[in-house]
Structure 1
Amino acid sequence: MKIANLQVDNKIYRMKILKIAACVVVIFNIAVVMSAPPRNVVQMQEEKHTKDVHADIPVVNEAEKLTVDELQPPDHLDAVKLEKDGMINKDFKKEIFLGEHEEIEGDDSDIAESKLKDIFTKVDEDADNRLCIPELESWIKKKTEEHFDEGLEENEHIFKHLDPDGDGLVDWKEYYIHFLLAKGYPSEQAKKHVEDYDIDLDYQEREQLIRYKFKWTEADINPIDNKLSKEEFLAFRHPEQSTQALANMVKTIMESLDKNEDHVLTEDEFVTLPLGDIDDEEQKKLDNSWKKQRSVEFRNQIDADHDGKATDKELLMYIDPRSEENARVDAKSLVDNLDDDNDSCISWSEIEDHKDIFIESKVVNVRRILHDEF
């Protein structure tokens, strides 16, 4: 009898548990239904999410587009003496003295000579018809500073254009869209391509974007966020004005030439020829001339303490356009090359006799020299 009563009690207990569980499920389902937004709200949220995905794409008016020249970073850094692969910038003297020397080289001889004469007169501060080292040094410093000031002014204008919301940052997508606009693509198509990559860019455009993205990444330092501050954007377009960019260049040169990886360059390492077979005597002469040029450059300008080695610091001082020593060394080097009568100055007749050397100097072309190495 007790066992039978126990079985009945257990059955009643199980039924109560099942009823309680069923009530919990019903209450939970009611709560879910009551808390869910209506269908039109769900649709609005989905649309909002879709818009948020594209919210960071800037609206750019085609009438406000920049030119390709305004947007592109330099392929060459003027007025820096070494290329990134460690090769000597053969146009260095031309760039730092003449400024836009391509204009002079493209002119008729009479016009070109008139422009050179005008530069000569401006450099000749005491009007004695000679250019001496202090005058040349002063002029080189002046033209270098002018270039830097122009770069800052230009950077201010372009950055402000790319940063319409004034948050002090330019995103890569913003730059990318302006690049496509400058290439002639419609605004809506450019914005869509930044997300979908649906424009069939030609080979040159793809190559340009790859190079620009690499330079963008180099400039994007603190923080690394695919956005450039005004200072970082200056390093992107004018790396000669960036301490970090110059330091990166020194690192690249050292890695390229430092064969034994001891973090210093010897003269032998600096003058070592690229690998390759020499086929004839003419090539041997050219190679020997190349090695001699690099040897002179290393001894006279790179190896500042003349210990037969060049450190990172010496390389940085050598390539830095604003190095105090550079203007003096460049002025002296120019006089050494043109001063036929050994009076430590350069006359107009000596410039006429060595016109190519004079044109290849910082006195004439600071701007282009300062853009060719990076």
Structure 2
Amino acid sequence: MKLLGTLCLLALSALWVLCKPTQEKKDRIHHSKDLSDHHHDDSQGYQYDHEAFLGKEEAKTFDQLTPEESKERLGKIVNKIDKNKDNFITHEELQEWIKRSQNRYIYENVNKHWRDYDKNQDNRISWEEYKNTTYGYYAAAEEEFSDLEDKDTYRRMMKRDERRFKQADRDGDMIATREEFTAFLHPEESDYMKDLVVTETLEDMDKNGDGLVDVDEYISDMYSAENDEPEPDWVASERQQFLDVRDLNKDGKMDHSEVSYWILPSQYDPIDVESKHLIYESDKDKDEKLTKQEILDNWNMFVGSQATNYGEDLTRRHDEF
């Protein structure tokens, strides 16, 4: 009995450690994120373009290179971007590269945890592998979580994980490829998962279980009063925002479509815009695609170096005077 108790305690500890991501609260509004912290003004320099094309961390590496080293590395990047090896970089290929550069942290996160879940090392992760790794002893128990005080919470978590796994699993075999597992862990980054993101958001905020979000539920998601203190001005402003902007049909609540309009409102795609911009500025023969030479001829827009940064610093100093 003592051994059994010890095993249960260890299983419970593992459960608390491994129970995962679908319950973590994130920023509700998934606007297309900025590609750079810099203002996009080519007359003042190309730092925005560098960070958009390379990602913020990789852009810092290029900033330390000589022009020769920077152009050499850029040439190797162009070879990677040209997926079909036709010696042209299309708008679609450039978009895909920028998306990967911007989402590098996501892919690194997936890679970091991949071995934890791929128990049989077949380079795929089944629902059973994920469930057993995440929920351990309780995943196989006949009465799931029955001895836990908050068992209903964990049951909901596992059901929600399973629903999300099914949605991410495009071929319906309940075995996730790396791409599908990425969509499972980071659904806000995959177009085909966005409706589920809306559903999960609504469920998180809907405290009374009526399938809708009223103004108090909307406010409680971002602010909780303590000791009957008066609400700050910004909370009153958010209440009015709910009435004027969020509640589109003016029935006092947000339904699924209104939540969707709120958290996924933007039709502006900065990756699409930046891809078109880089092509427009580098496409000498105006065939709406780029050769490797056209990119290298305009290398300082795509990547940085000590030389380009020095030039930008001089320009800024001149403007200051």
Q: State TM-score, norm by structure 2.
A: 0.39
Q: State TM-score, norm by structure 1.
A: 0.35
Q: Higher relative contact order by CA 8 Å / sep ≥ 6: 1 or 2? A: 1
Say which one has the larger Rg. 1
